[in-house]
Protein backbone atom coordinates (compact mmCIF):
# COMPACT_ATOMS: atom_id res chain seq x y z
CA UNK A 1 0.00 0.00 0.00
CA UNK A 2 1.34 3.40 -1.03
CA UNK A 3 0.02 6.93 -0.52
CA UNK A 4 1.29 9.97 -2.39
CA UNK A 5 0.04 13.36 -1.21
CA UNK A 6 1.03 17.00 -1.32
CA UNK A 7 2.27 18.37 2.00
CA UNK A 8 -0.37 21.17 2.08
CA UNK A 9 -3.19 18.74 1.33
CA UNK A 10 -2.30 16.61 4.38
CA UNK A 11 -1.38 19.52 6.62
CA UNK A 12 -4.84 21.08 6.32
CA UNK A 13 -6.87 18.18 7.79
CA UNK A 14 -4.20 17.41 10.39
CA UNK A 15 -4.26 21.03 11.61
CA UNK A 16 -8.05 20.96 11.66
CA UNK A 17 -8.35 17.90 13.87
CA UNK A 18 -5.11 18.27 15.84
CA UNK A 19 -6.75 20.13 18.73
CA UNK A 20 -8.92 17.12 19.55
CA UNK A 21 -5.89 14.98 20.41
CA UNK A 22 -4.88 15.51 24.04
CA UNK A 23 -1.19 15.53 24.98
CA UNK A 24 -1.84 13.24 27.94
CA UNK A 25 -3.84 10.15 27.15
CA UNK A 26 -5.53 7.41 29.16
CA UNK A 27 -5.22 5.11 26.13
CA UNK A 28 -2.08 5.17 23.95
CA UNK A 29 -4.11 4.89 20.75
CA UNK A 30 -5.88 8.19 21.50
CA UNK A 31 -2.58 9.93 20.72
CA UNK A 32 -2.98 8.68 17.14
CA UNK A 33 -5.13 9.66 14.18
CA UNK A 34 -7.00 7.04 12.22
CA UNK A 35 -6.15 6.93 8.51
CA UNK A 36 -8.57 5.23 6.09
CA UNK A 37 -6.83 4.98 2.72
CA UNK A 38 -9.02 4.25 -0.28
CA UNK A 39 -8.65 4.86 -4.01
CA UNK A 40 -8.20 8.61 -4.51
CA UNK A 41 -9.21 9.48 -0.95
CA UNK A 42 -7.70 9.67 2.53
CA UNK A 43 -10.02 9.75 5.52
CA UNK A 44 -8.59 11.22 8.75
CA UNK A 45 -10.23 10.83 12.17
CA UNK A 46 -9.29 12.06 15.66
CA UNK A 47 -11.09 11.52 18.97
CA UNK A 48 -10.63 11.87 22.73
CA UNK A 49 -13.76 9.77 23.46
CA UNK A 50 -15.75 12.97 24.10
CA UNK A 51 -15.23 14.76 20.77
CA UNK A 52 -14.70 13.17 17.38
CA UNK A 53 -13.75 14.88 14.11
CA UNK A 54 -13.69 13.22 10.71
CA UNK A 55 -12.46 14.76 7.49
CA UNK A 56 -11.01 13.63 4.18
CA UNK A 57 -8.61 14.75 1.49
CA UNK A 58 -7.83 13.77 -2.09
CA UNK A 59 -4.66 11.66 -2.52
CA UNK A 60 -3.07 9.11 -4.82
CA UNK A 61 -3.65 5.77 -3.10
CA UNK A 62 -2.43 2.40 -4.35
CA UNK A 63 -4.36 -0.34 -2.57
CA UNK A 64 -6.48 0.03 0.57
CA UNK A 65 -5.49 0.17 4.22
CA UNK A 66 -6.68 1.32 7.64
CA UNK A 67 -4.03 2.27 10.19
CA UNK A 68 -3.21 4.84 12.86
CA UNK A 69 -0.24 7.21 13.18
CA UNK A 70 0.98 9.43 16.05
CA UNK A 71 -0.95 12.69 15.54
CA UNK A 72 1.55 15.20 16.92
CA UNK A 73 4.58 13.66 15.23
CA UNK A 74 2.83 13.41 11.87
CA UNK A 75 1.64 17.03 12.13
CA UNK A 76 5.10 18.28 13.15
CA UNK A 77 6.74 16.45 10.24
CA UNK A 78 4.27 17.99 7.79
CA UNK A 79 4.81 21.47 9.24
CA UNK A 80 8.59 21.11 8.94
CA UNK A 81 8.56 20.00 5.30
CA UNK A 82 9.17 22.60 2.56
CA UNK A 83 6.13 24.16 0.89
CA UNK A 84 4.56 22.09 -1.91
CA UNK A 85 6.69 19.08 -0.92
CA UNK A 86 5.42 15.65 -1.99
CA UNK A 87 5.02 13.07 0.76
CA UNK A 88 4.97 9.30 0.23
CA UNK A 89 3.66 6.92 2.90
CA UNK A 90 4.15 3.16 2.74
CA UNK A 91 3.27 0.50 5.33
CA UNK A 92 5.56 -2.31 6.47
CA UNK A 93 4.08 -4.35 9.30
CA UNK A 94 3.62 -2.12 12.32
CA UNK A 95 5.75 0.65 10.81
CA UNK A 96 4.90 3.46 8.40
CA UNK A 97 7.68 4.86 6.24
CA UNK A 98 7.40 8.50 5.17
CA UNK A 99 9.54 9.90 2.37
CA UNK A 100 9.85 13.45 1.12
CA UNK A 101 12.77 14.60 -0.98
CA UNK A 102 15.85 13.24 0.75
CA UNK A 103 14.08 12.83 4.09
CA UNK A 104 13.12 9.46 5.55
CA UNK A 105 10.91 9.06 8.61
CA UNK A 106 9.67 5.87 10.25
CA UNK A 107 6.67 6.02 12.58
CA UNK A 108 5.09 3.29 14.68
CA UNK A 109 1.51 2.38 13.87
CA UNK A 110 -1.25 0.90 15.99
CA UNK A 111 -4.06 -1.31 14.63
CA UNK A 112 -7.07 0.56 13.24
CA UNK A 113 -9.35 -2.09 14.73
CA UNK A 114 -8.45 -0.80 18.21
CA UNK A 115 -9.32 2.81 17.39
CA UNK A 116 -12.41 3.86 19.37
CA UNK A 117 -15.34 5.71 17.85
CA UNK A 118 -18.29 7.66 19.21
CA UNK A 119 -21.54 5.87 18.44
CA UNK A 120 -24.37 8.33 18.90
CA UNK A 121 -28.01 7.36 19.20
CA UNK A 122 -30.55 8.16 16.51
CA UNK A 123 -31.13 11.88 15.95
CA UNK A 124 -34.31 13.31 17.44
CA UNK A 125 -33.90 16.69 15.70
CA UNK A 126 -32.20 17.67 12.45
CA UNK A 127 -31.47 21.36 11.89
CA UNK A 128 -29.85 23.42 9.16
CA UNK A 129 -27.91 26.42 10.46
CA UNK A 130 -25.74 28.82 8.40
CA UNK A 131 -22.11 28.45 9.43
CA UNK A 132 -21.69 32.17 10.07
CA UNK A 133 -24.71 32.17 12.41
CA UNK A 134 -23.26 29.38 14.55
CA UNK A 135 -19.83 31.02 14.49
CA UNK A 136 -21.22 34.37 15.65
CA UNK A 137 -23.13 32.77 18.54
CA UNK A 138 -19.94 31.10 19.76
CA UNK A 139 -17.75 34.18 19.24
CA UNK A 140 -20.04 36.40 21.30
CA UNK A 141 -20.48 34.08 24.29
CA UNK A 142 -17.73 31.45 24.67
CA UNK A 143 -15.52 33.59 26.93
CA UNK A 144 -18.06 33.31 29.77
CA UNK A 145 -17.99 29.49 30.02
CA UNK A 146 -16.71 28.07 33.27
CA UNK A 147 -13.47 26.09 33.48
CA UNK A 148 -13.43 22.92 35.57
CA UNK A 149 -16.26 24.13 37.80
CA UNK A 150 -17.73 21.56 40.19
CA UNK A 151 -21.08 22.61 38.73
CA UNK A 152 -20.27 20.58 35.62
CA UNK A 153 -23.23 21.96 33.65
CA UNK A 154 -21.50 25.38 33.61
CA UNK A 155 -18.43 23.94 31.83
CA UNK A 156 -20.11 24.36 28.49
CA UNK A 157 -22.49 26.43 26.41
CA UNK A 158 -26.27 26.26 26.36
CA UNK A 159 -27.76 26.21 22.86
CA UNK A 160 -31.48 26.87 22.84
CA UNK A 161 -33.47 26.28 19.66
CA UNK A 162 -36.97 27.50 18.92
CA UNK A 163 -38.95 27.80 15.70
CA UNK A 164 -37.23 30.94 14.44
CA UNK A 165 -34.39 31.58 16.84
CA UNK A 166 -31.14 30.14 18.23
CA UNK A 167 -29.83 31.41 21.54
CA UNK A 168 -26.39 30.75 23.03
CA UNK A 169 -25.83 31.29 26.76
CA UNK A 170 -22.67 30.84 28.82
CA UNK A 171 -21.96 31.61 32.46
CA UNK A 172 -19.37 30.81 35.12
CA UNK A 173 -21.48 32.11 38.00
CA UNK A 174 -19.80 35.54 38.03
CA UNK A 175 -20.80 36.77 34.58
CA UNK A 176 -23.22 35.71 31.86
CA UNK A 177 -23.16 36.11 28.09
CA UNK A 178 -26.22 35.76 25.86
CA UNK A 179 -26.50 36.07 22.09
CA UNK A 180 -29.36 35.10 19.80
CA UNK A 181 -29.80 34.84 16.05
CA UNK A 182 -32.73 34.35 13.71
CA UNK A 183 -32.72 31.19 11.58
CA UNK A 184 -35.13 29.29 9.36
CA UNK A 185 -33.85 25.76 9.85
CA UNK A 186 -36.26 24.45 12.49
CA UNK A 187 -39.84 23.25 12.69
CA UNK A 188 -42.68 25.33 14.11
CA UNK A 189 -42.87 23.09 17.18
CA UNK A 190 -39.13 23.20 17.86
CA UNK A 191 -38.21 23.70 21.52
CA UNK A 192 -34.83 22.25 22.39
CA UNK A 193 -32.01 22.90 24.88
CA UNK A 194 -28.59 21.23 24.82
CA UNK A 195 -25.32 21.90 26.70
CA UNK A 196 -22.20 21.56 24.55
CA UNK A 197 -18.93 20.94 26.47
CA UNK A 198 -16.30 23.66 26.59
CA UNK A 199 -13.69 21.80 24.53
CA UNK A 200 -16.22 20.90 21.85
CA UNK A 201 -17.27 24.55 21.56
CA UNK A 202 -13.67 25.64 20.99
CA UNK A 203 -12.96 22.92 18.42
CA UNK A 204 -16.19 23.59 16.54
CA UNK A 205 -15.40 27.30 16.42
CA UNK A 206 -12.09 26.57 14.65
CA UNK A 207 -13.91 24.67 11.92
CA UNK A 208 -16.63 27.21 11.16
CA UNK A 209 -16.35 29.85 8.47
CA UNK A 210 -18.15 33.13 7.77
CA UNK A 211 -20.02 31.61 4.84
CA UNK A 212 -23.75 31.09 4.36
CA UNK A 213 -23.12 27.38 3.76
CA UNK A 214 -25.46 25.30 5.92
CA UNK A 215 -24.18 23.30 8.86
CA UNK A 216 -26.41 20.26 9.25
CA UNK A 217 -26.91 19.57 12.96
CA UNK A 218 -28.22 16.23 14.22
CA UNK A 219 -29.23 16.21 17.88
CA UNK A 220 -29.87 13.08 19.90
CA UNK A 221 -30.44 12.55 23.61
CA UNK A 222 -26.72 12.57 24.40
CA UNK A 223 -24.84 13.69 21.25
CA UNK A 224 -24.57 16.54 18.79
CA UNK A 225 -23.28 15.80 15.29
CA UNK A 226 -22.58 18.60 12.83
CA UNK A 227 -21.82 18.04 9.16
CA UNK A 228 -19.86 20.77 7.41
CA UNK A 229 -18.64 20.71 3.81
CA UNK A 230 -15.66 18.42 4.42
CA UNK A 231 -15.91 17.74 8.15
CA UNK A 232 -18.10 15.63 10.40
CA UNK A 233 -17.99 16.79 14.04
CA UNK A 234 -19.46 14.77 16.91
CA UNK A 235 -19.53 15.57 20.61
CA UNK A 236 -21.12 14.15 23.70
CA UNK A 237 -23.51 16.54 25.43
CA UNK A 238 -23.44 17.52 29.10
CA UNK A 239 -26.24 15.75 30.93
CA UNK A 240 -27.43 18.39 33.35
CA UNK A 241 -29.84 21.24 33.90
CA UNK A 242 -28.57 24.66 32.93
CA UNK A 243 -29.50 27.48 35.36
CA UNK A 244 -32.53 29.63 34.58
CA UNK A 245 -30.57 32.46 32.99
CA UNK A 246 -33.64 34.72 32.76
CA UNK A 247 -33.59 35.05 36.56
CA UNK A 248 -30.03 36.39 36.40
CA UNK A 249 -31.06 39.36 34.28
CA UNK A 250 -31.08 42.51 36.46
CA UNK A 251 -34.52 43.80 37.38
CA UNK A 252 -35.75 47.07 38.83
CA UNK A 253 -35.35 50.58 37.44
CA UNK A 254 -31.72 50.92 36.35
CA UNK A 255 -29.77 54.05 35.57
CA UNK A 256 -28.23 53.96 32.12
CA UNK A 257 -24.58 54.60 31.32
CA UNK A 258 -23.88 55.28 27.64
CA UNK A 259 -20.19 55.21 26.77
CA UNK A 260 -17.90 55.08 23.77
CA UNK A 261 -16.71 51.49 23.66
CA UNK A 262 -13.16 52.20 22.50
CA UNK A 263 -12.57 55.00 25.01
CA UNK A 264 -13.88 52.93 27.92
CA UNK A 265 -11.93 49.86 26.80
CA UNK A 266 -8.65 51.77 26.66
CA UNK A 267 -9.22 53.44 30.04
CA UNK A 268 -10.03 50.07 31.67
CA UNK A 269 -6.94 48.49 30.09
CA UNK A 270 -4.65 51.23 31.45
CA UNK A 271 -6.22 51.22 34.91
CA UNK A 272 -6.09 47.43 35.16
CA UNK A 273 -2.29 47.48 35.00
CA UNK A 274 -2.18 48.49 38.66
CA UNK A 275 -5.10 46.36 39.86
CA UNK A 276 -4.66 43.40 42.19
CA UNK A 277 -3.32 40.60 39.96
CA UNK A 278 -5.41 37.97 41.73
CA UNK A 279 -8.79 39.67 42.12
CA UNK A 280 -8.54 42.24 39.28
CA UNK A 281 -10.85 44.61 41.17
CA UNK A 282 -11.56 48.10 39.83
CA UNK A 283 -13.78 50.80 41.34
CA UNK A 284 -16.39 52.66 39.26
CA UNK A 285 -17.38 56.07 40.64
CA UNK A 286 -20.26 57.44 38.61
CA UNK A 287 -21.45 61.03 38.74
CA UNK A 288 -23.17 63.38 36.31
CA UNK A 289 -21.78 62.47 32.84
CA UNK A 290 -18.50 61.34 34.38
CA UNK A 291 -16.90 58.02 35.33
CA UNK A 292 -13.85 57.82 37.56
CA UNK A 293 -11.96 54.53 37.49
CA UNK A 294 -9.75 53.59 40.44
CA UNK A 295 -7.45 50.62 41.00
CA UNK A 296 -4.79 49.72 43.56
CA UNK A 297 -2.69 46.70 44.48
CA UNK A 298 -0.90 45.26 47.55
CA UNK A 299 2.26 47.20 46.60
CA UNK A 300 0.36 50.44 47.41
CA UNK A 301 0.35 51.45 43.73
CA UNK A 302 -2.68 53.25 42.38
CA UNK A 303 -4.26 54.20 39.06
CA UNK A 304 -7.02 56.69 38.29
CA UNK A 305 -8.73 57.53 35.00
CA UNK A 306 -11.64 59.81 34.15
CA UNK A 307 -13.98 59.02 31.27
CA UNK A 308 -16.67 61.33 29.92
CA UNK A 309 -19.93 59.56 29.13
CA UNK A 310 -23.69 59.95 29.44
CA UNK A 311 -25.07 59.32 32.92
CA UNK A 312 -27.90 61.17 34.66
CA UNK A 313 -28.50 58.95 37.69
CA UNK A 314 -27.55 59.40 41.33
CA UNK A 315 -23.84 59.22 42.26
CA UNK A 316 -22.85 55.57 42.53
CA UNK A 317 -19.72 53.65 43.50
CA UNK A 318 -19.50 50.01 42.44
CA UNK A 319 -16.69 47.47 42.04
CA UNK A 320 -16.11 45.06 39.16
CA UNK A 321 -13.59 42.49 38.00
CA UNK A 322 -11.95 44.48 35.21
CA UNK A 323 -11.17 41.31 33.24
CA UNK A 324 -14.87 40.47 33.00
CA UNK A 325 -15.70 43.93 31.63
CA UNK A 326 -12.87 43.84 29.09
CA UNK A 327 -13.98 40.40 27.89
CA UNK A 328 -17.41 41.86 27.15
CA UNK A 329 -16.09 44.97 25.39
CA UNK A 330 -13.80 42.79 23.26
CA UNK A 331 -16.77 40.97 21.66
CA UNK A 332 -18.96 44.01 21.06
CA UNK A 333 -18.67 45.43 17.56
CA UNK A 334 -20.72 48.60 17.97
CA UNK A 335 -19.02 51.91 18.81
CA UNK A 336 -21.29 52.65 21.77
CA UNK A 337 -22.24 50.48 24.76
CA UNK A 338 -25.03 50.72 27.30
CA UNK A 339 -24.41 49.74 30.93
CA UNK A 340 -27.51 49.47 33.12
CA UNK A 341 -26.71 49.84 36.84
CA UNK A 342 -28.97 49.95 39.88
CA UNK A 343 -26.89 49.95 43.05
CA UNK A 344 -23.55 48.75 44.42
CA UNK A 345 -24.84 45.25 45.19
CA UNK A 346 -26.69 44.56 41.93
CA UNK A 347 -25.33 43.12 38.70
CA UNK A 348 -24.76 45.37 35.71
CA UNK A 349 -26.28 44.64 32.31
CA UNK A 350 -24.00 45.52 29.40
CA UNK A 351 -25.23 45.58 25.80
CA UNK A 352 -24.29 47.17 22.47
CA UNK A 353 -26.30 50.32 21.85
CA UNK A 354 -29.26 49.62 19.60
CA UNK A 355 -28.75 45.83 19.67
CA UNK A 356 -31.28 43.65 21.48
CA UNK A 357 -29.72 40.30 20.60
CA UNK A 358 -26.60 40.57 22.80
CA UNK A 359 -26.71 40.88 26.59
CA UNK A 360 -23.97 40.53 29.18
CA UNK A 361 -24.43 40.37 32.95
CA UNK A 362 -21.47 41.17 35.21
CA UNK A 363 -21.75 40.71 38.97
CA UNK A 364 -20.28 43.39 41.24
CA UNK A 365 -17.49 42.73 43.72
CA UNK A 366 -16.64 44.22 47.08
CA UNK A 367 -13.51 46.35 47.17
Q: Would 2-114 and 125-246 be classified into the same CATH topology?
A: yes
Judging by beta carbons within 10 Å of its beta carbon (0-12, 13-18, 19+), is residue 306 exposed, middle or buried? exposed
Query: What is the model's pLDDT at position 23?
Result: 84
> What are the residues whose beta carbons fall under 8 Å from the beta carbon of 291, sequence distance 6 or more?
257, 259, 264, 284, 285, 306, 307, 308, 309, 311
> Would you state the torsion angle of the CA atoms of residues 131, 133, 139, 142, taken in this order, to the nearest 10 degrees?
-100
pTM of the model: 0.93
What is the rounded average pLDDT of the residues 178-186? 86
Domain extents for the chain? 2-114, 125-246, 249-362
- Residue 117 near residue 52, CB atoms below 8 Å: yes
Query: What is the model's pLDDT at position 185?
Result: 64
Distance CA 360, CA 261 (A): 14
pLDDT tens for 36-94 read 999 999 999 999 999 999 999 999 999 999 999 999 999 999 999 999 999 999 999 99
Percent of the chain scored above 90 by pLDDT? 89
* Cα 286 from chain centroid (whole Å): 34
pLDDT tens for 322-356 read 999 999 999 999 999 999 999 999 999 999 999 99
Distance CA 317, CA 77 (A): 56
- CATH class of residue range 125-246: alpha beta
Closest Cα to residue 152, out of 66, 238, 275, 259? 238
pLDDT grade for 111, boundaries at 50, 70 and 90: very high
pLDDT tens for 298-309 read 999 999 999 999
Sheet with 2-6: list strands edge to edge: 60-62, 2-6, 86-92, 95-100, 103-108
What is the rounded average pLDDT of the residues 2-30? 93
> What are the residues whose beta carbons fall under 8 Å from the beta carbon of 20, sequence distance 6 or more?
46, 47, 48, 51, 52, 53, 203
Query: What is the model's pLDDT at position 184?
Result: 80
> What are the residues whose beta carbons fall under 8 Å from the beta carbon of 46, sequence distance 6 or more?
17, 18, 20, 21, 33, 34, 52, 53, 71
Residues in the chain: 367
- Whether residue 318 is predicted with pLDDT greater than 70 in this model: the reply is yes
- CATH class of residue range 249-362: alpha beta
Distance CA 63, CA 1 (A): 5
Query: What is the model's pLDDT at position 186?
Result: 67
pLDDT tens for 184-225 read 866 677 899 999 999 999 999 999 999 999 999 999 989 999
Domain 2-114 classified CATH 3.10.150.10?
yes
Query: What is the model's pLDDT at position 183?
Result: 84
Distance CA 49, CA 21 (A): 10
Residue 20: C-alpha distances to residues 109, 140, 158, 273 (Å): 19, 22, 21, 35
What is the rounded average pLDDT of the residues 286-311? 97
Distance CA 292, CA 311 (A): 12
- Whether residue 29 is predicted with pLDDT greater than 70 in this model: the reply is yes
Amino acid sequence: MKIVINREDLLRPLSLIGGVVERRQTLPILANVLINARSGRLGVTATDLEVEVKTHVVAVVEGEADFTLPARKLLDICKALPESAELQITLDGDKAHLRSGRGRYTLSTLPATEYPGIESTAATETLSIPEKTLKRLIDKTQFAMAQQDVRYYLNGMLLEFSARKIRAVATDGHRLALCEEEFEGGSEALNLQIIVPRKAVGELRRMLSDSDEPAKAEVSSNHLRIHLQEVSFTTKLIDGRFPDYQRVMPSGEPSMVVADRGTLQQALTRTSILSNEKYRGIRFKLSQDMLELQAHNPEQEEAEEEVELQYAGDPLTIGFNVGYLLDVLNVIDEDTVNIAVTDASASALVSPSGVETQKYVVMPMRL
